[in-house]
A and B are shown apart, each in its own frame.
Chain A
Amino acid sequence: MRNPVLVATATVVTLLLTGCGSGSSGQPGEIRLRMIESLTGPERTKLIKSLLADFERANPGVTVELISPPLDSADQKITQILQTKKGLDVLEVRDHTAKSFSNNGWLAELPTTEWAGWPALTELAQKKAVEVGGKAYLIPYGFYQRTLFYRTDFGMTAPPATWQELYEAGKRMTTGDRYGYSFRGGKGGADYAVMMISAYNGDQLNPEKSFYLKDKRTIFSTPEAAQALDLFVKIFKEASPPDSVSWGYPEMVQGFTSGVTGMLIQDPEVIKTVEESGVTAWSTAPIPKGPTGYAYQPVGYAGWGVTSFSEHPAEAVKLVQFLSEAEQSIAFAKGNSLIPISKEAQNDPQFSQGAWKAYLQAQQDPKQVITIRPVDYPGWSQFLVDSDRDVQSLITGKKGTAEVLKAWDAFWVDQAKKVS
């Protein structure tokens, strides 16, 4: 019989090694990149994997391992991995995580000058790549911008051009089991309130710091803001399903595709969902405007970045560049219904026809303004949580519009002090 102490030691060592060992094993000379995505979905993961396979074919000796955490906790998981500063090379950075990731020194600056793909990016893509800290910490892979989806068979001849018209059309449509508008009262609901308040502030608003006016007051401090929020509540009470107090993204879309609601404001990926749902009489239009003819919305984005602690920075950068080149990025934008980052996409018929036309229309309208949200203020994440809750208090009658606006105004006045 062998020495029991020896056996035990061997067991312990094996256990510890398998438990704590990192994934850098493999044949010598082979480079293994680890990449993590955030907005995980089965179709999307499949698409990314096929692009990665193309990359591996083009770069023999390099393999990429993709980690796909479940969507709901993905960003928390990414943050945890980043805190350990180990075992990750390429990652998905979202507009609202870019600032904290770069603040904490987790992202490497990407080269833009000696890369042929850079000039091929649209102006918007180049701008957003360097939006945080003036350095390219990520290359966007596409953009999310909201558009209005409406049913053409629910007695609507033309889409509503203003929020007032949306309210009126919605009210007309609301009868018994059918409602006018897919209201968002759950997670993310405050975003729509802000969209309306912004539109009502008209040309006073400062698009670069979109929670503030040109005279530095907050957008929540004006009488126009109160008008907007009152109408917001009216749209909920008179033109939306009562159940929408708790609606988030899936319920809104389901409401529209199942025929419960006649209007929906959502991101372009819904185009695909609606097309596949069997609804035939529908169309899209730019988002409604305020009384003075302005509409504001931020453009949502996410992109690929490289960690500051990557052991293979050269290959990691190469992978990000590969994914951002015209062929791959257009394939990715098509697969996910995103607004593409490549100039070449303008020649692609898919992005200039049908439901996509509303985006072109919005791009050509100078009063459809793209804004920048104060995502780089320390209180941004907190505001997202708090404001959604305030919206639910507002529409369930627990709080009044004045009270909510006062709180939001105070919050952002305080934030302005913290930043300057």
Chain B
Amino acid sequence: MRTFTVRRARFIALCLLPGVVFVVLFTYYPMVRGAVIAFQRYNLFDITATPFVGLENFRAVLAEDRFWTALRNTGTWVAVSLFFQFLLGFGLALLLRRHFRGRGLYQAWVFFPWAMSGFLIGLLWRWMFNGQFGVVNDLLLKAGLIEERIGFLASPGWAMTSVIVANIWYGVTFFAIMIMAALQSVPGELYEAAAVDGASRLRRFWHVTLPHIRPTLALIVLLRIIWILNFPDLIYAMTGGGPAGSTDIVTTFLIQQVIGGDYGRAGAVGLLVLALLLAFSIFYLNATRFEKAR
């Protein structure tokens, strides 16, 4: 066995260097810079003078009704999207676990959307949901389910439903991929043993499959919550947060601050989102750990 010499340590450090440099340069530096901007008056209109203004940006953001509307919408957006993505993703994973002819090809087709840009998918859905020329309205009309075209993206009630439907469609595959991977880790003997003991399909699922993949599920759900919250692409392409802010979530609200040129406020929104996610993650991880200990 080789000994751990200074020379060797130096070599390892050197090998790690490119990775570290890249992460510091492209992840941490922008993060820290963004955090600093949150405390400055930083309006793109004139960035030759950017004085520090303390908590002024935070006060301005928190005083806006739009921010609070966006926060409420974020709750709906994350909860409903997650629920259906999880449910459908799980179902898809269970179905795809079975062997059938052409499964590999089918999987590839199903997973394909996940590799596409969210913005592009938003544009596609925007046209599909269009009230006048959209294919969704056309199909519903031809199927006799509706009698008049629905302005999906135009009415405040439908708009949120529409963007969530698109998001569910987009995210199902992620859950399916992850859950399928988790399912493959369940040892086959356990099923055989359970079957010998006379356990039904449902009981096998409940007592063998679920406990085995629960830790993975907990982690996937957390990751997904963070990603859905940080995923303004779809909404931005479909409605831009409209009509009248009814589909605004905190991250589309942030984009609007950037477009308005006020980087200071955008930074403040960013930090607020970060704090929110951090608090939630700590709570969530504690809660799931508690469950495991029991």
- In the bound complex, residues from chain B placing their C-beta under 8 Å from that of A254 are 133
B14 to chain A, nearest CB (A): 5
B90 to chain A, nearest CB (A): 33
- In the bound complex, residues from chain B placing their C-beta under 8 Å from that of A185 are 154, 242-243
Give the distance in Å from the alpha carbon of A57 to the alpha carbon of B149 in the complex: 56
Q: Is A400 part of the binding interface, using a Cβ–Cβ cutoff of 8 Å?
A: no
Give the distance in Å from the alpha carbon of A104 to the alpha carbon of B43 in the complex: 11
- In the bound complex, residues from chain A placing their C-beta under 8 Å from that of B46 are 100, 103-104, 378
A358 to chain B, nearest CB (A): 26
B244 x A392 contact (CB < 8 A):
yes
A242 x B154 contact (CB < 8 A):
yes
B244 x A382 contact (CB < 8 A):
no
Q: Is B22 part of the binding interface, using a Cβ–Cβ cutoff of 8 Å?
A: yes
- In the bound complex, residues from chain B placing their C-beta under 8 Å from that of A381 are 44-45, 259-261
- In the bound complex, residues from chain A placing their C-beta under 8 Å from that of B81 are none
- In the bound complex, residues from chain A placing their C-beta under 8 Å from that of B244 are 389, 392-393, 396, 398
**Best-buried of B22, B66, B259 by chain A (most CB within 10 Å):** B259
Q: Is B286 part of the binding interface, using a Cβ–Cβ cutoff of 8 Å?
A: no
Give the distance in Å from the alpha carbon of A72 to the alpha carbon of B232 in the complex: 14
- In the bound complex, residues from chain A placing their C-beta under 8 Å from that of B102 are none
Chain A residues 22 to 37 lying within 8 A of chain B, measured CB to CB, are none
Residue of B nearest to A393 (CB): B244
Q: Is A364 part of the binding interface, using a Cβ–Cβ cutoff of 8 Å?
A: no
Given contacts A8-B14, A104-B47, A243-B132, contact A385 B153 (CB under 8 A): no
B18 x A105 contact (CB < 8 A):
no
B45 x A100 contact (CB < 8 A):
yes
Give the distance in Å from the alpha carbon of A388 to the alpha carbon of B256 in the complex: 11
Residue of B nearest to A242 (CB): B151
Given contacts A186-B240, A385-B256, contact A243 B261 (CB under 8 A): no
Give the distance in Å from the alpha carbon of A396 to the alpha carbon of B21 in the complex: 51
Give the distance in Å from the alpha carbon of A407 to the alpha carbon of B82 in the complex: 38
**Which residue from B21, B243, B259 sits with its C-beta under 8 Å from A392?**
B243
Residue of B nearest to A378 (CB): B45
B44 x A245 contact (CB < 8 A):
no
Q: Is A246 part of the binding interface, using a Cβ–Cβ cutoff of 8 Å?
A: yes
- In the bound complex, residues from chain A placing their C-beta under 8 Å from that of B153 are 243, 245-246
Chain A contact residue count (CB 8 A cutoff): 45
B4 to chain A, nearest CB (A): 15
Residue of B nearest to A247 (CB): B154
**Best-buried of B46, B149, B240 by chain A (most CB within 10 Å):** B240
Give the distance in Å from the alpha carbon of A76 to the alpha carbon of B259 in the complex: 8
B14 x A9 contact (CB < 8 A):
yes
- In the bound complex, residues from chain B placing their C-beta under 8 Å from that of A105 are 48
A209 to chain B, nearest CB (A): 17
Give the distance in Å from the alpha carbon of A185 to the alpha carbon of B46 in the complex: 30
- In the bound complex, residues from chain A placing their C-beta under 8 Å from that of B256 are 385
Give the distance in Å from the alpha carbon of A259 to the alpha carbon of B26 in the complex: 49
B6 to chain A, nearest CB (A): 12
Give the distance in Å from the alpha carbon of A396 to the alpha carbon of B155 in the complex: 8
- In the bound complex, residues from chain B placing their C-beta under 8 Å from that of A11 are 18
Q: Is B262 part of the binding interface, using a Cβ–Cβ cutoff of 8 Å?
A: yes
- In the bound complex, residues from chain A placing their C-beta under 8 Å from that of B240 are 186-187, 248
Q: Is B115 part of the binding interface, using a Cβ–Cβ cutoff of 8 Å?
A: no
Residue of B nearest to A189 (CB): B242
Q: Is B36 part of the binding interface, using a Cβ–Cβ cutoff of 8 Å?
A: no
B106 to chain A, nearest CB (A): 32
- 19 A-B residue pairings within 8 Å (CB atoms): A8-B11, A8-B15, A11-B18, A103-B46, A104-B48, A187-B240, A242-B151, A242-B154, A243-B151, A251-B132, A260-B132, A378-B43, A378-B46, A381-B260, A392-B243, A392-B245, A393-B245, A396-B156, A398-B244
4 interchain residue pairs of minimum CB distance: A243-B131, A245-B154, A243-B151, A392-B244
